[in-house]
Amino acid sequence: MKQHLLNLSLSELAAHFDTWGEPRYRAEQVALWTLRKGAKSFEEMTDLPRTLRSRLNNEFTITSPPALDTQTAHDNSTTKVLLDLGKGEAIETVRMDYDPDSNRIEGRSTICVSTQAGCAIGCIFCATGQQGFTRNLTAAEIVAQVLYFTRERPITNVVFMGMGEPLANYDAMLRAIRWLVDEQGFNIRQRGITVSTVGLIRPIERLAKEQLQIGLTISLHAPDDELRRYLIPNAGNVTINALLETGTKYQQATKRRITYAYALLEGVNDKPEQARTLAKTLRGRPIHVNLIPYNPTAGDNLRRPKPDRVLAFLREMRIAGINTTVREERGIEIAAACGQLRTDMLDNSQTT
């Protein structure tokens, strides 16, 4: 079976070309055609010798998964696509033409990519988490999600916040990041990349050593360990204090400020006293907290807090001196449910 070319890094591809007696710049040409010029076959790479094109075609593929479904929000701010991985499996990718974490709009186009089909972490408020884990995506499948949207127009940011826990698929995630930031790849600035995790300590420590200046968002979702374990059942026995320590080390190594994400669930973790407890734990750390009012997707018993509850939580955090924002949401009718398109597809396949 042919190997997908984007499952190799550029250095690995160049090393492979070396065994064929081809110089490195040929590997760079292939990367440029595949990622920036949107070539769908080696035949289109007209500045490569015909013999090389044919050799590439015999050994590699650069096919991309086709779209099964797309949805665009009424204000055009958000587009979601369901990509077909074959064998009944599919993943979601979203483009947001605004910055969900800073409320700025100008010049931003952010792709939210998935790293796994399903997810084993099982967060009780997440549609993907309720589906269970199917498999890790390959680097090529992660890169293909960005490619799908860059074929339409340039993008500025990529967030690893879609389906799956990126740090549980570390090698493929890192390979994809290298293609994103490599000058011969997509050439996206490192600061435009953010990895979002429930807080897997060892992989965070590993990421801190990769000499990358990418952002890190760690999901807290609770002011205390007991509630956090209930909301995020399979994140291991890590404590909030251990997470904060790991975040601080990441920050020191990369010079990037950590964001802590906090999904607000009505009556579960949105009380003012819970905000005060959280603020006390976070006080003194140069961090940012992003409050995310829950979008009902997974549990029948979970609800989005009313705006005044969100504001009250925000006020408590700010009074305590914690740098806190509420996530901007546009195109809410489709952005709401990460994993929802896939859920619908799985439901349909079970009922037809």
* Contacting positions for ligand SF4 (CB under 6 A): 119, 121-123, 126, 128-129, 163-165, 198
DSSP-based helix, strand, coil % in the chain, nearest 5? 40, 20, 40
Is 31 or 265 the residue whose CB approaches ligand SF4 more closely?
265
Q: Where would I find the beta strands (DSSP E) of 165-245?
A: 193-197, 215-219
CB of 265 to ligand SF4, least distance (A): 13
Residue owning tokens 């901007």: 328
Which of 22, 28, 89, 92 is flagged as catalytic?
92
Is 331 or 339 the residue whose CB approaches ligand SF4 more closely?
339
First to last CA, the chain: 32
Q: What type of residue is 293?
A: P
* Core vs surface per residue 144-164: b (16+ CB within 10 A) or e: bbbbbbbeeeebebbbbbbbb
Nearest to 174 by CA among 150, 190, 162, 163: 190
Is 119 or 140 the residue whose CB approaches ligand SF4 more closely?
119
Is 13 or 111 the residue whose CB approaches ligand SF4 more closely?
111
C-alpha to C-alpha distance for 273 and 80, rounded to whole angstroms: 37
Tokens of 38: 């949107």
C-alpha to C-alpha distance for 199 and 74, rounded to whole angstroms: 35
Return all residues near 287 (Cβ < 8 A) that are at least 6 apart.
247, 251, 257, 258, 259, 260, 322, 323
Active site annotation includes 273 = no
CB nearest ligand SF4: which residue?
A: 129
C-alpha to C-alpha distance for 249 and 287, rounded to whole angstroms: 12
C-alpha to C-alpha distance for 42 and 40, rounded to whole angstroms: 7
Is 128 or 274 the residue whose CB approaches ligand SF4 more closely?
128
Tokens of 67: 């779209």
* Pair 158, 188: CB distance under 8 Å: yes
Is 242 or 312 the residue whose CB approaches ligand SF4 more closely?
242
- DSSP-assigned letter for residue 6: G
Is 65 or 164 the residue whose CB approaches ligand SF4 more closely?
164
Q: How far is CA 265 from the centre of its chain?
A: 22
* Core vs surface per residue 309-330: b (16+ CB within 10 A) or e: bbebbbebbeeeebebbbbbbb
Task: Give the SS3 label for residue 79.
Answer: strand
Tokens of 218: 């760690």
Active site annotation includes 123 = no
Which residues carry out catalysis? 92, 338
